[in-house]
Structure formats: C-alpha cells, structure tokens
C-alpha cells in the first residue's frame, strides 16, 4: 500500500485506495481500510480531513527526511554516551589511585572483614534481646491499651443498641441477643 503512495505521489480518498489496492498490489479490498489505518498509526502515511473527505498520502522524500532526522538524533546520542563513557573511565581511574594492592592495604582490608564479622555477630545477639527491649515493651503495652479501649467502646455500642431496641420495640433482651448472636456473658473488659 505504501508503494502506491510513493509511486503516484498523490493524495487519495479511501474509496480510490479500495479500488486501486486490489488491482495494483493484490490487497484484499476489505482489508484496505485497516492497512491504511495502520500506516497512519505508524506515521508512515498522513491523513487529513478536507471538507467531508479524508485524504491519505505519503511521499518518498518524507521517509528519507525522517531517517536523516533519526540518524542525526542517534549520532548526537552516541556522542553524548561516548563522552559519558570517557568521564566514567576517568572516574574509575581516579578512584583506583591510592588503592594499589600493598601489604598495608591487604592488612586493613582483612581487619575490616574481621570488624564487620564481629559487628554482624553483635547484631544477631542484639536481635535475641529485642523482646526485652523497654521501648518495644512500652509500645506493646500502649497497643494493648488501645485495643482494650476499642473493645470496650464496641461493647458499649452494643449495649446502647440493645437499649434502643428494647425501648423502641419493647423486645426481650435475651430473645434479641439470641436472634442477633450476642453471647449472654458479653461485658466490658
């Protein structure tokens, strides 16, 4: 379909393309509309509404210009990436200065490994005593108090609803509790 646009270098109506496509390129006439729409979606062909008609076109020079623009963009990106690579290589070189492998450095690296090992061991030991941490215990006590207050608040709400039902409908509370599923021993904590 794109060849039809490039060979003729003219704009076409969809009806003209549906007539020309099967004859020249062997495209099934029912699929011409879908093919043209996919070309428009891929920016390989243009569609412009003029009056009540939609015109479709694509010129060969357009694709060459698009490729040149894309090539120029990629070349700029390549230059930027090469500059970034040079900067990173310089940074690696600068970072390696003073890090030559010497006996002193090897000893310090070994000492660092030992200190890290001791630190990790102490962290494991500290985790064992975390349950007895006063801050954690105070936090758990506060959470328990909040949970208890919330449970009492809901229990009070149930009692308020029971009183309202009793006053409004003159209903026996035992019957209401059995119907709703409230246990007989419900009380505040």
**Residues forming a β-bridge with 13:** 55
Spell out the residues 6+ positions from residue 130 whose beta carbon is closer than 8 angstroms to its own: 136
- Cα angle, residue 38 at apex, residues 33 and 43 outer, rounded to 5°: 125
More confident residue, 140 or 22: 140
Choice among 19-33, 47-61, 87-101, 144-158 with the minimum mean pLDDT? 19-33
Model confidence band, residue 99 (pLDDT cutoffs 50, 70, 90) = confident
Q: How confident is the model at residue 77 (pLDDT cuts 50, 70, 90)?
A: very high
User: Residues with Cβ < 8 Å from 6, sequence gap 6 or more?
Assistant: 58, 59, 60
| pLDDT value at residue 75 | 96
Instruction: Pull the structure tokens for residue 26.
Output: 């062997």
Q: Does the pLDDT at position 116 exceed 90?
A: yes
**CA–CA separation, 177 vs 155, rounded Å?**
13
Residue 100: both structure tokens together: 């030559």
Which two tokens mark 164? 């309202």
Contact 186, 158 (CB under 8 A): yes
Structure tokens at 157: 């709400």
For the chain, percent of residues with pLDDT exceeding 70: 99
How many angstroms from the chain centroid is the CA of residue 137? 38
Report pLDDT for 58.
Answer: 84
Per-residue model confidence (pLDDT) at position 71: 93
How far does the chain reach from its first CA to its final CA, in angstroms?
81
> Among 35-39, 58-62, 148-152, 156-160, whose mean pLDDT is lowest?
58-62
pLDDT of residue 120: 94
Q: Compute φ and ψ for 54, nearest 5 degrees.
A: -105, 125
Give per-residue pLDDT as tens, 121-154: 999 888 887 777 788 888 889 999 999 999 999 9
CA distances from 63 to 35, 46, 151 (A): 18, 12, 73
This prediction has a pTM of 0.37
Q: Where are the alpha helices (DSSP H) in 97-133?
A: 103-128
Q: What is the pLDDT of residue 67?
A: 84
Q: What is the pLDDT of residue 82?
A: 96
């Amino acid at each position: 379909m794109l060849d039809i646009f490039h060979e003729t270098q003219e704009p076409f109506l969809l009806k003209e393309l549906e007539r020309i496509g099967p004859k020249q390129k062997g495209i099934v006439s029912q699929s011409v509309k879908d093919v043209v729409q996919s070309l428009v979606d891929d920016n390989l062909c243009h569609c412009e509404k003029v009056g009540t008609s939609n015109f479709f076109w694509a010129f060969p020079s357009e694709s060459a210009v698009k490729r040149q623009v894309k090539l120029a963009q990629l070349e700029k990106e390549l230059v930027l990436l090469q500059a970034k690579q040079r900067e990173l290589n310089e940074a690696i070189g600068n970072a390696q200065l003073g890090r030559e492998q010497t006996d002193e450095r090897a000893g310090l690296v070994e000492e660092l490994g030992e200190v890290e090992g001791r630190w990790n061991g102490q962290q494991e030991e500290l985790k064992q005593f975390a349950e007895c941490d006063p801050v954690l215990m105070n936090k758990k006590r506060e959470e328990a108090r909040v949970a208890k207050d919330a449970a009492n608040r809901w229990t009070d709400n149930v009692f308020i609803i029971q009183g309202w039902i009793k006053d409004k409908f003159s209903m026996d509370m035992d019957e209401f509790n059995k119907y709703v599923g409230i246990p007989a021993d419900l009380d505040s904590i």
